[in-house]
């Protein structure tokens, strides 16, 4: 492995924010909302059966195990962007490394608070821990990044595939097995339970984000999202190929989940492994699609582009906002709709939450407010 004095990449760092990464983060929040909202209902089959089946297949093909690698890819990409900015301002590698790791530790602290106070499906702590683990790779060569991505992809796929195999083998929805619905538990009971399981959740989940983070770091060195017009042809090829691979790899699991295919045990295992493996390609492919959209959108920014960009610039704030909304809508100490909505309706709640986030983010943009979570992290990490 080659050790470098600073991360490889083209000279010069752009002073302004690139459009594509922010658009991708804004779109990513919709995928995260789709992935999380159904976990808050007690029975995903409640409501119209056809609507639930269509929504279920959509989730397996385009949402489940896609939002995570997309988030990881963008997070790894942002680490390189931040490092480049610090080095351009005259920071040393040691100083910048300490800052990145300090941000990672504070993200873990914020993630713990998020878990204890709101919901047990936090991703902030997982990515914060991932940053602590992988920041040292920012000084290594491309080979180290690609080897890290390849080697960690094996246990990552195995972990997610095993979690997916169990409900598929039992003929049960993966949302049912992964449910975080409160049921009859009160806030105090939930708080104690979340606090006890939090460390194990972070440790078991961190391996699943490392492949995407490493690939995001590799892509950032080439400024693929910063300058998508320079990479248009490979972006198109990757977006098409990854989408086809992702849909083909997820279809067997989707058919199993909606109950239209009954397969032997070996086929269930294969489907459970294929869906998350190809989901990595699909999730990162979504970022490529957004980058292609950004090429056109950058020529004449419409209202929607500006709103999604503003949302992406405040992605942590509105990730936490989603949790607040879902608690208020589904939990018994909120509206208590956990027993009234099924998969399709919960997905609708996620879509409405994202639309509300768009409006609020645009208001923040207009008044020049960065976002409370972003401000908090900056103050804590930069001291």
pLDDT in tens, the chain (383 residues): 333 333 334 333 334 678 999 999 999 999 999 999 999 999 999 999 999 999 999 999 999 888 889 999 999 999 999 999 999 999 999 999 999 999 999 999 999 999 998 888 899 999 999 999 999 999 999 999 999 999 999 999 999 999 999 888 888 888 888 888 887 777 778 888 888 889 888 998 999 999 999 999 999 999 999 999 999 999 999 999 999 999 999 999 999 988 888 878 889 999 999 999 999 999 999 999 999 999 988 888 889 999 999 999 999 999 999 999 999 999 998 899 999 999 999 999 999 999 999 999 999 999 999 999 999 999 999 87
Sign of the CA dihedral with 122 first, then 118, 357, and 79 last: negative
Selection from 28, 25, 47, 13 nearest residue 346 by Cα:
47
pLDDT given at position 16: 62
Selection from 361, 280, 262 nearest residue 321 by Cα:
361
Selection from 352, 350, 346 nearest residue 46 by Cα:
346
pLDDT given at position 9: 40
Question: Residue with structure tokens 């005259």?
Answer: 90
Task: Give strand pairing partners of 140.
Answer: 3
Task: Round to whole Å and give the CA distance between 330 and 21.
Answer: 31
Domain span at 132: 19-382
Q: Is residue 156 part of a domain?
A: yes
Q: How far is CA 311 from the centre of its chain?
A: 15
Q: Is residue 14 part of a domain?
A: no
Q: Is residue 225 part of a domain?
A: yes
What the block records as the tokens of 170 is 């039992």
Question: Residue with structure tokens 């180290």?
Answer: 144
Q: Is residue 147 part of a domain?
A: yes
Q: Is 140 helix (H, G, I), strand (E, B) or coil?
A: strand
Task: Round to whole Å and give the CA distance between 280 and 250.
Answer: 11
The structure's pTM equals 0.90
Task: Round to whole Å and give the CA distance between 77 and 364.
Answer: 25
Q: Is residue 13 part of a domain?
A: no
Cβ neighbour number for residue 367 with a 10 Å cutoff: 6
Question: Residue 84: which H helix or E strand, with range?
Answer: helix 67-88
Selection from 84, 102, 79 nearest residue 381 by Cα:
102
Selection from 243, 59, 245 nearest residue 164 by Cα:
59
- The full DSSP string for 331-375 is STTTT-GGGT--HHHHHHHHHHHHHHHHHHHHHHHHHT---HHHH
What the block records as the tokens of 335 is 């509206």
Counted domains in the chain: 1
pLDDT given at position 181: 85
Task: Round to whole Å and give the CA distance between 213 and 225.
Answer: 14
Task: Round to whole Å and give the CA distance between 318 and 62.
Answer: 21
Selection from 249, 157, 250, 138 nearest residue 211 by Cα:
157
pLDDT given at position 7: 38
Cβ neighbour number for residue 191 with a 10 Å cutoff: 14
Q: Is residue 214 part of a domain?
A: yes
Say which DSSP state 17 is in: P
Cβ neighbour number for residue 8 with a 10 Å cutoff: 12
Q: Is 126 helix (H, G, I), strand (E, B) or coil?
A: helix
Q: Is residue 1 part of a domain?
A: no
Q: Is residue 7 part of a domain?
A: no
Q: Is 130 helix (H, G, I), strand (E, B) or coil?
A: helix
Residue 72's contacts (CB-CB under 8 Å, 6 or more residues apart) are 127, 130, 209, 210, 211, 212, 213, 216, 283
């Amino acid at each position: 492995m080659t050790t470098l004095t600073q991360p490889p990449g083209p000279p010069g760092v752009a002073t302004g924010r690139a459009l594509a990464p922010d658009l991708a983060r804004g779109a990513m929040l919709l995928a995260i909302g789709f992935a999380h909202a159904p976990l808050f209902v007690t029975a995903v089959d409640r409501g119209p059966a056809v609507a639930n089946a269509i929504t279920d297949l959509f989730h397996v093909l385009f949402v489940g195990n896609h939002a995570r690698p997309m988030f990881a890819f963008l997070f790894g990409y942002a680490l390189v962007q931040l490092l480049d900015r610090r080095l351009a301002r005259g920071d040393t590698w040691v100083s910048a490394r300490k800052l990145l790791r300090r941000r990672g530790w504070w993200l873990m602290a914020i993630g713990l608070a998020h878990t204890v106070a709101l919901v047990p499906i936090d991703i902030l702590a997982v990515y914060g821990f991932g940053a602590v683990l992988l920041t040292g790779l920012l000084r290594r060569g491309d080979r180290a990044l690609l080897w890290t991505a390849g080697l960690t992809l094996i246990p990552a796929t195995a972990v997610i595939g095993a979690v997916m195999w169990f409900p598929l083998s039992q003929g049960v929805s993966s949302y049912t097995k992964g449910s975080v619905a409160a049921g009859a538990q009160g806030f105090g009971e939930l708080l104690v339970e979340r606090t006890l399981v939090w460390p194990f959740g972070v440790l078991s989940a961190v391996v699943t984000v490392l492949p995407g983070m490493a690939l995001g770091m590799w892509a950032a060195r080439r400024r693929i999202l910063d300058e998508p017009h320079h990479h248009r042809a490979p972006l198109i090829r990757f977006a098409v190929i990854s989408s086809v691979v992702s849909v083909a790899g997820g279809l067997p699991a989707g058919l199993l989940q909606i109950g239209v295919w009954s397969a032997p045990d070996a086929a269930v295992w294969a489907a459970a492994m294929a869906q998350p493996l190809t989901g990595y390609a699909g999730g990162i492919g979504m970022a490529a699609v957004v980058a292609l959209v950004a090429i056109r959108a950058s020529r004449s920014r419409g209202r929607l582009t500006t709103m999604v960009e503003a949302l992406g610039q405040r992605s942590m704030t509105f990730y936490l906002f989603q949790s607040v909304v879902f608690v208020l809508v589904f939990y018994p100490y909120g509206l208590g709709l956990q027993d009234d909505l099924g998969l399709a309706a919960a997905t609708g709640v996620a879509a409405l939450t994202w639309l509300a986030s768009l409006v609020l983010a645009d208001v923040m943009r207009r008044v020049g407010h960065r976002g409370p979570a972003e401000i908090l992290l900056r103050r804590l990490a930069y001291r």
